Amino acid sequence: MRISNYDKYPATRLDAELWQGWDAIKSELARRCASSKGRFVVVVECYQGVYHDEIEPEIRALSPACWINTCTIFKSPAEIEEMTYPYVTDDRLFGFRSHFTYADFMDKTRLENARHQMETASGLIIVYGHGAAYVAPEADLLVYIDMARWEIQLRSRRHEINGLGVENKAEGASFQYKRGYFVDWIVCDQLKKTLLSRADYWLDTHQAGLPKMITGDTLRHGLEKTAHKPFRVVPFFDPAPWGGQWMKEVCGLDKSQSNYGWCFDCVPEENSLYFDIQGILFEMPANNLVFYQTRALLGGPVESRFGQDFPIRFDFLDTMGGGNLSLQVHPTTQYIRDTFGIYYTQDESYYLLDAEPGATVFLGLKTNVDSKEMISALNKAQDTGGVFDAERYVNRWPARKHDHFLIPNGTIHCSGAGAMVLEISATPSIFTFKLYDWGRLGLDGLPRPINIRHGSHVIQWERQTDFVRDNLVNQVKPIAQGEGWREERTGLHENEFIETRRHWFSSPVTHDTNGGVNVLNLVEGEEAIVESPSGAFESFVVHYAETFIVPASVGEYRIRPYGKAEGKECGTIKAYVRFRE
């Protein structure tokens, strides 16, 4: 049995001051407020999903002469529901990307009254809530209370939080996520990007009742440090109807849980980032790094193409001891633009970290499949609850450890049972059109959403057996070799913007970011160490199955076996944006 050395709490170490607990935080804020004897405006900006019932009374205990809660300035929930409906829609999963800002959520008359109230007030003035920095852009002190999307999702599942200006905590989690994805988080991030460079304090309230605060300077120093060295985001794990048992052992997870199907190991839009300050973990969304250190992290060419989006996603799909994933397809680029307002799609691939004997991957269509017949069979299975004969229409390929299956958009696919998949993909994260789910219910006891109509519009029917074999299954090409190492190209397909390279090494092997961000996973070997030939960053140790990011700013770096792996052959898979060869 493997003893897990997988690090679930990776962090950037900082030598800085941190305040923990409301008493310490209030004392520090009171000290700053007392430094002015006259009119003093404090803005406390909040990301969607924070616990207002906990936070508001603590901030209000600073005893302001004037208190403004932005919830009193918002339009009515009914007005906001009407305004956002074309983007949220009635669909259980999908909406359309909006372009709202906080100005769209505020009632103009109430906003004018609040600003007049501030202008005529004296002493300590506190503006608190969502959009507080929009209401009072010229604050004397700016405090930001942040929230990562994974924690927001957990709170949504427990029906604890509302969206911006609406009362929707009773809705299903998928509806709440959809509102966040297509509306709320766009609004919050648009404002946050302007505040990262000037906030005086940053608060972490991810753990209820245990707030932590750092200065804005500490935040910015930590993000800058992280963007110039290899690092990991904080992984999170989740069960699934098809989930398996592999991650329990390898990642050291709770064995009392029925399964773990998912791990988001590198999805900065969803993951958190930790700072280790005085032995205390300070949590924030990993997206803050993308927003504040875009060029250093992504590199100029990648930034030019994707802006402030991190384009590469690594996640785990565990069906070892589990079941098949849903049979699915991802939208083409034009379809995702026209239908959802997203400008690039979820091309992907399956890299097999491990596999049981007999494991398989469903990929591409059988030769001479009749498209109308197949769609009719899918609809019949959906309407009647009957069985869809997947193997009549879809290829089923043997899957072994270290196989790599390429899945450009429009290709029908799914992992079969008995596979441990490292999914390497582009980052749009919810645009999976499930076609068939083997008659299962979701973890909520409801049928999982099936999207045959969407899927039928994007399946590339020419991707049949010969094409898949010749273009998408194990397209391994030797690239280079040296003493104790060799490099292979494993994909992705020419239609996809991600390039992957696998290195096998028992001696040090040199890499270079070549001006673009690299994402890697240690796919073989207990441990490896990442070093800077010039000493530009501290050596960074990674363990088996850990995903790590090497920012574009790093340039040249070296990886070699470490610890128990010294003298043995290790392997990494590396992904980067293909912008030049």
Both 388 and 305 in a single domain? yes
Task: Return the CATH number at 100.
Answer: 3.40.50
Residues 355 and 254 in one domain: yes
Q: Which residues pair with 274 in a beta bridge?
A: 283
Parallel, antiparallel, or unpaired: how do β-strands 272-277 and 394-398 relate?
unpaired
Residue partners of 353: CB distance under 8 A and separation at least 6 = 316, 401, 420, 421, 422, 521, 523, 545
Measured between alpha carbons, how far is 556 from 550 in angstroms, rounded to an integer? 10
Boundary (domain end) residue, out of 447, 471, 495: 471
Q: How many domains are there within the chain?
A: 2
- Which positions ≥6 away from 376 have C-beta within 8 Å? none
Span 314-356, pLDDT tens digits: 999 999 999 999 999 999 999 999 998 888 788 899 999 999 9
Are 46 and 163 part of one and the same domain? yes
- In terms of Cα–Cα distance, which of 247, 254, 244 is closest to 319? 244
Q: How far is CA 229 from CA 211, 364, 512, 520, 540, in A?
A: 28, 39, 13, 14, 8
Can you tell me which residue has the tokens 């994007």? 458
The rounded distance, in Å, linking the Cα atoms of 174 and 499 is: 32
User: Tens digits of per-residue pLDDT, 240-291?
Assistant: 999 999 999 999 999 999 999 999 999 999 999 999 999 999 999 999 999 9
| The pLDDT of residue 2 is above 80 | no
Residue 75 DSSP symbol? P
Q: Is the pLDDT of residue 581 over 80?
A: no
Contact 394, 365 (CB under 8 A): yes
- Asked if residue 220 and residue 258 are part of one domain, the reply reads no
Q: Of 243, 69, 43, whose CA–CA distance to 144 is shortest?
A: 43
Length of the chain: 581
CATH code (residue 313)? 2.60.120.10
Q: In the chain, pLDDT over 70 holds for what percent of residues?
A: 99
Answer yes or no: is 485 within a domain. Answer: no
pTM: 0.96
> What is the predicted pLDDT for the residue at 580?
58
Q: Tell me how many helices (H) and strands (E) the chain has.
A: 19, 31
In a domain, 178, yes or no: yes
Alpha carbon 317 to chain centroid distance? 15
**Are 217 and 242 found together in one domain?**
no
Q: Are residues 210 and 244 in the same domain?
A: no
Burial code (b: 16+ CB inside 10 Å, e: under 16) for 315-336 equals bbbbbbebbbbbbbbbbbbebb
Q: How far apart are CA 410 and CA 337, in angstroms?
A: 14
Do both 172 and 251 map to the same domain? no
Q: Are residues 243 and 306 in the same domain?
A: yes
Structure tokens given for 32: 């700053």
Task: Flag whether 410 is in a domain.
Answer: yes
Cis peptide before 492 (omega within 30 of 0): yes
Quote the pLDDT of residue 427.
75
Phi and psi of 79, rounded to 5°? -65, -40
For residues 236 and 181, give the distance between their C-alpha atoms in angstroms, rounded to a whole number: 18
Compute the distance between CA of residue 103 and CA of residue 136 in angstroms, rounded to an integer.
Answer: 12
Token pair of 399 as six digits: 């899957």
Dihedral, CA of residue 210, residue 215, residue 216 and residue 219, to nearest 10 = -70
- In order, the DSSP letters of 360-386 are EEEEEEPTT--HHHHHHHHHHHHHH--
Give the other-Cβ count within 10 Å of 68's Cβ: 24
The string of pLDDT tens digits covering residues 29-41 is 999 999 777 899 9
Q: What is the domain range of residue 49?
A: 12-226
Q: From start to end of 47-100, where are the E strands?
A: 66-69
CA dihedral 72, 74, 75, 81 (to 10 degrees): -120
521 located within any domain: no
Q: Which helix (H) or strand (E) holds 150?
A: helix 149-157
Choosing from 428, 455, 471, the residue where a domain stops is 471
Percent of the chain with pLDDT over 90: 90
Helix (H) or strand (E) segment spanning residue 292: helix 287-292
Domain membership flag for residue 274 = yes
* 3-class secondary-structure state, position 286: coil
Q: Are 377 and 241 contained in the same domain?
A: yes
> How many other C-beta atoms are found inside a 10 Å radius of the C-beta of residue 39?
15
Note whether 263 and 216 are same-domain residues.
no
Q: Could you read off the pLDDT of 423-442 as tens digits, one per residue?
A: 999 876 678 899 999 988 77
Is 348 among the domain residues? yes
Residue 229 C-alpha from the chain's centroid: 20
The answer to whether position 354 is within a domain reads yes
Percent of the chain that is helix, strand, coil (3-state, to 5): 30, 30, 40
From residue 483, how far is each of 229, 487, 504, 509 by CA, in Å?
A: 26, 12, 11, 9
Q: Are 198 and 273 within one domain?
A: no
Separation of first and last alpha carbons in the chain: 42
Domain end among 199, 226, 253 = 226
Confidence of residue 1 (pLDDT cuts 50, 70, 90): very low
Examine the domain organization and report whether 273 and 172 are in the same domain.
no
Sorted by sequence, the CB contacts under 8 Å of residue 61 that are 6+ apart come out as: 26
Residue 18 lies in a domain: yes
